[in-house]
Amino acid sequence: MSLPARRAVGVFGGTFDPIHVGHLVAAVNVRHALDLDVVLLVVANRPWQKEGSRVVTPAADRLAVVRAAVGDVAGVEASDLEVARRGVSYTADTLAALRARDREADLVLVIGADVAASLHTWERLDEVRARCRLAIVNRPGAPPPAVPAGWRADVVEIPALEVSSTDLRARVTDGRPLDYLVPAAAVRELRRRGLYAAQRMDERLPEGPEA
Ligand code: ATP
Ligand code: MG
């Protein structure tokens, strides 16, 4: 009897405030390039590196929008691991939980080149390094990202999509369109929840059963 193949799991963490096509295109291309079984979009519950600088949208809202964005695309899944764990989100804990769930899994941490450059600021980095290898996504034509010393890493070229959550939040606030930058189902979900529209009450859907 042959042993079941070792599962290769991409772990793509982010605040996803909100998720956009840059994240999704990175996820599907890393999955394809490295032949991963699945890429988990792991929504940070409390992203400690961002909390000091701005108000972060409640995790349940961000997770719901990620779920809507993923839809039924094969091999990409929204993960509530960090949201369900509550508290401050550390990747070291997330990898330990995934390891406990599947002793044999090949865990691949997916990060952008910007995150690769600041990896040294992470908590319990030695634990992270011991538990996974890296996939660094890079835009074609961009200088090759520096692979942090001591890490096993693949660099995956993805189409450059100059979209960021920061820009999307400003777009909602200003009333500019999100269409095609965020999947339609996710746009509907974030509108339904009234996210990012604090300064534009007129953009909110009316409350009540008929809305
Ligand atoms: P913000 O503008 O609030 O920083 P963001 O768009 O950078 O948000 P994050 O949730 O901070 O999104 O990013 C999560 C991960 O996605 C990081 O590894 C980041 O490098 C990567 N990423 C962000 N934007 C893109 C993009 N346009 N293309 C590819 N990867 C991206
Ligand atoms: Mg960012």
Residue 3 inside a domain? The answer is no
In the prediction, which pLDDT does 171 show?
96
Q: Residue 20 Cα, ligand 1 centroid: separation in angstroms?
A: 9
In the prediction, which pLDDT does 194 show?
96
In the prediction, which pLDDT does 207 show?
54
Among the ranges given (27-31, 51-55, 65-69, 162-166), the one the predictor scored with the smallest mean pLDDT: 51-55
Q: Residue 50 Cα, ligand 2 centroid: separation in angstroms?
A: 9
| Interatomic CA distance for residues 156 and 142, integer angstroms | 12
Q: Could you tell me if the CB of 115 is within 6 A of ligand 1?
A: yes
Query: pLDDT averaged over the chain?
Result: 92
Domains: count for the chain: 1
Give residue-wise pLDDT tens across range 21-49: 999 999 999 999 999 999 999 999 999 99
Q: To which residue do tokens 């409390």 refer?
A: 46
- For the entire predicted model, the pTM comes to 0.92
| Interatomic CA distance for residues 33 and 19, integer angstroms | 22
Q: Could you tell me if the CB of 57 is within 6 A of ligand 1?
A: no
Q: Could you tell me if the CB of 14 is within 6 A of ligand 1?
A: yes
- Ligand 1 atom, smallest distance to 164 CA: 6
Residue 168 inside a domain? The answer is yes
Q: Which residues pair with 172 in a beta bridge?
A: none
Task: Give the residue numbers spanning the domain of 173.
Answer: 8-203
Residue 2 inside a domain? The answer is no
Q: Output the domain CATH number for residue 27.
A: 3.40.50.620
Q: Could you tell me if the CB of 163 is within 6 A of ligand 1?
A: yes
Q: Residue 23 Cα, ligand 1 centroid: separation in angstroms?
A: 6
Contacts of 63-66 with CB under 8 Å at 24 or more apart are 64/189, 64/193, 65/16, 65/18, 65/19, 65/186, 65/189, 65/190, 65/193, 65/195, 66/16, 66/19, 66/41, 66/186
The closest alpha carbon to 31, from 57, 56, 12, belongs to 12
What count of Cα atoms within 13 Å lies in the side-chain half-sphere of residue 44?
Answer: 21
In the prediction, which pLDDT does 7 show?
96
Q: Could you tell me if the CB of 16 is within 6 A of ligand 1?
A: yes
Mean pLDDT of 41-62: 94
Q: Residue 164 Cα, ligand 2 centroid: separation in angstroms?
A: 7
Residue 27 inside a domain? The answer is yes
Residue 1 inside a domain? The answer is no
Sign of the Cα torsion 153, 121, 41, 98 reads positive
pLDDT at 140 over 60: yes
| Interatomic CA distance for residues 109 and 152, integer angstroms | 10
Residue 210 inside a domain? The answer is no
In the prediction, which pLDDT does 209 show?
52
Residue 72 inside a domain? The answer is yes
Residue 126 inside a domain? The answer is yes
Give residue-wise pLDDT tens across range 61-88: 999 999 999 999 999 999 999 999 999 9
Amino acid at 192: R
In the prediction, which pLDDT does 204 show?
45
Give residue-wise pLDDT tens across range 85-115: 999 999 999 999 999 999 999 999 999 999 9
